[in-house]
Structure 1
C-alpha cells in the first residue's frame, strides 16, 4: 500500500525544537535575565569571596548547560536557567577581561565583537543557517549557546564602555541602547529587514539595555544610580523571571515544516 507520512509544523516543533518561540514574552524575559545577571554577578563578587563565588557560578552554569543538552525538547525552566547562568557567567567573563586583566572597555568590546563575528561565520559555514528555528541538532545547539554567551559578554562590555569610558552614565546608556534595540524591530516590521539579522541584532542589544538599567537601579547615587541594594534588585528581577517562566513559559520555536514520503510498502 502507499503511505505518506507528513509531519506538521506544530508536531515538528514539539519533537525537535530546543529553544522557545520568539514572542513578546521571550523578549521581556530576556531583558529581565540580562539585568538580573549583571547585578547578581556584582552582588556575588562584592559579598562573597571571589574564589568561592566564581567557581560556584561556573559549576552551576556547567550543570545547567549539561541538563539543557540532555533534554530532548524545549523545557522552559531548564532553558531559562541556562540563560540566567549565561548572564551571570558572561558578566563575570567581561569583568575579568576589564578588571582582572586591566584591558580597557573599548578593547574588550572590540574583542567580543570579533569573537561574535568568528562564531557566527563559523556557524553559518558549517550549517548554512543562523536561524533559531533550526536548533534541533547538538552541533547547532552548541553554536547557539556559544553565540548567546558571547553576546552577553559583548553587551556587558559595551554597556560599561558607554557608561564609564564615554561618561554617559547608566541611565543614558540604557536609553541609548533602547533606541538601538528598537531599530531591528522597526526594520523587521516595516522595512523588510532579514528575520535572522533582525533577531540577532535585537538579541545583542537586549544585554546592554537590561544591564544598564539594572546598574542604574543598583549603583550608588555618587555613581549616577538610585542606590537600591544589589541583592534586592537581583531578587526582584529573579521573581519576575520565575513568574514569567512558570505562567508564560511559551512553546518551542517553530521548526521548518517538512514532509517525509515513504515508498510503497507491502
Structure 2
C-alpha cells in the first residue's frame, strides 16, 4: 500500500506546530481500516434492524459528534481515540448513504457520483486552503477539519459504490474480487509508475471502504443473496473484537507513532 508524505509547497507561516493527529501509515493502518469499513457496514444495518432507521441514525449522529469532539480535543494522535472516531464515522457514513437510497429513494447509480462530487469538493477546498492533502500535515485545527470531512465523504462514497456493484450483477463476492484487484492499482502505480504518494494514498483509502463493506456483507447476508449467512450481529461483533485487538496492540507498541515531527 502507498504511504503518504508532505508536499513541499505548503504554507507554514500560519501553522501552529503540534504533534500529529493521525497515525503513521503502516500495514496495521490498512488492516484496521478495512476492518472498520466492514464493521461499520454491518453495524449500521444491525442497528437499523434493532432500533429502527430513525433512532439508529440519531444515535449514530450523536456518537459521531462525541467521538469527533474527543478526537479534536486530543493534543496528539492517540490510537484508541482516533480509531474510535474512524469506527463511528464508518457507521454514520453507511447511514448517510443508506438514507439517500432507502429513505429518499435515490438509486446507487446517482448517489455514488453525488458522494464522489462531495469528496472532490472537500479535496478542492482543502488543497486551495492548505496547498497539500497530505495526512502528515494534519497538525492544525483547520487541516483536521478538512481531514475528517474527507474521511466521512470516503465512507459514504464507498458504501454507495459497494452497494452499486453488488446490485448490478456482481453480487457481494464478485464485488470483493473487483475491489481487491482495484486496491492494488494505486499501490502499483505509485511504486512502479511514479504516481504521487498523496494521490495513491487517497485512492487506496477510498477503495478500502467498498472492499471491507463487500467482505462483511458477503459474510453476513443469507445464502439466497450469495452470502455465508453468518448474520449481521455475529459479523459486527467479531470484526469489532478484531479491531480492538489490533488497536490495543498499536496503543501498547506505538509502532504507528511518527518518531520525528514533520514540519
Tell me the TM-score normalized by structure 1: 0.89
Match of 1:226 in 2: 228
CA distance in 1, matches of 2:158, 2:230: 22
Match of 1:252 in 2: 257
Decide which of 182, 185, 204 is 1:183's aligned counterpart.
185
Match of 1:198 in 2: 200
Match of 2:218 in 1: 216
Question: How far does the alpha carbon of each residue in 1:157-206 deviate from its partner, in whole angstroms, 9 at most, with x for none?
Answer: 00000001x21100001110111101111112222210000000000000
**What SS does the corresponding residue of 1:17 show, helix, strand or coil?**
coil
Contact 1:87 1:152 in 2 (8 A): yes
Match of 1:56 in 2: 59
**What SS does the corresponding residue of 1:167 show, helix, strand or coil?**
helix
CA distance in 1, matches of 2:131, 2:164: 33
Q: Which structure's relative contact order is higher, taking Cα pairs within 8 Å and 6+ residues apart? A: 1
CA distance in 1, matches of 2:198, 2:261: 14
Total equivalences in the alignment: 244
**What SS does the corresponding residue of 2:246 show, helix, strand or coil?**
helix
CA distance in 2, matches of 1:255, 1:86: 28
**What SS does the corresponding residue of 2:195 show, helix, strand or coil?**
coil
CA distance in 1, matches of 2:89, 2:185: 25
Contact 2:136 2:262 in 1 (8 A): no
Question: How far does the alpha carbon of each residue in 1:115-138 deviate from its partner, in whole angstroms, 9 at most, with x for none?
Answer: 111110010000000000100000
* 1:107 paired to 2:110: yes
CA distance in 1, matches of 2:132, 2:53: 39
Match of 2:14 in 1: none
Decide which of 2, 19, 26 is 1:16's aligned counterpart.
19
CA distance in 1, matches of 2:258, 2:150: 17
Contact 2:24 2:257 in 1 (8 A): yes
Contact 2:96 2:156 in 1 (8 A): yes
* 1:29 paired to 2:32: yes
Contact 1:163 1:169 in 2 (8 A): yes
Q: Against the structure 1 CA distance between its residues 160 and 254, is the aligned structure 2 distance closer, same or farther, given a 3 Å change threshold?
A: farther
Contact 1:18 1:253 in 2 (8 A): no
Match of 1:141 in 2: 144
CA distance in 1, matches of 2:248, 2:69: 21
* 1:98 paired to 2:75: no
Question: How far does the alpha carbon of each residue in 1:28-76 deviate from its partner, in whole angstroms, 9 at most, with x for none?
Answer: 0000000000001001111223332221121111100000000000000
CA distance in 2, matches of 1:224, 1:25: 30
Contact 1:35 1:207 in 2 (8 A): yes
CA distance in 1, matches of 2:19, 2:100: 37
Match of 1:65 in 2: 68
Rg comparison, structure with higher value: 1
Structure 1 gap segments, 5+ residues each: 1-13, 259-266
CA distance in 1, matches of 2:256, 2:53: 37
Deviates more, 1:153-162 or 1:45-54: 45-54
